[in-house]
């Protein structure tokens, strides 16, 4: 265990690091292209699900022939 002065120094350093991290988090931004890519991925995902459903229907229809 360190002296009181050592502990105060460590606390001061830790507090400074916390403030730096807070500033970094506050300034964090997702790249603007992310939203466009996310929207496109959602569209593709919906289309894949739609095609899979259509495939099931087509398979059922083929079995009925």
13-62: pLDDT as tens digits? 999 999 999 999 999 988 889 989 999 999 999 999 999 999 999 999 99
What integer pLDDT is reported at residue 19 of this predicted model?
96
CB 2 within 8 A of CB 10: yes
The pTM is what? Answer: 0.52
CA dist 32 and 1 (Å) reads 49
């Amino acid at each position: 265990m360190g002296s009181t002065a050592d502990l105060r120094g460590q606390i001061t350093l830790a507090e400074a690091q916390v403030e730096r991290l807070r500033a970094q988090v506050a300034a964090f931004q997702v790249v603007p292209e992310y939203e466009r890519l996310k929207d496109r991925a959602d569209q593709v995902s919906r289309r894949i699900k739609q095609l899979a459903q259509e495939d099931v229907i087509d398979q059922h229809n083929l079995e009925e022939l």
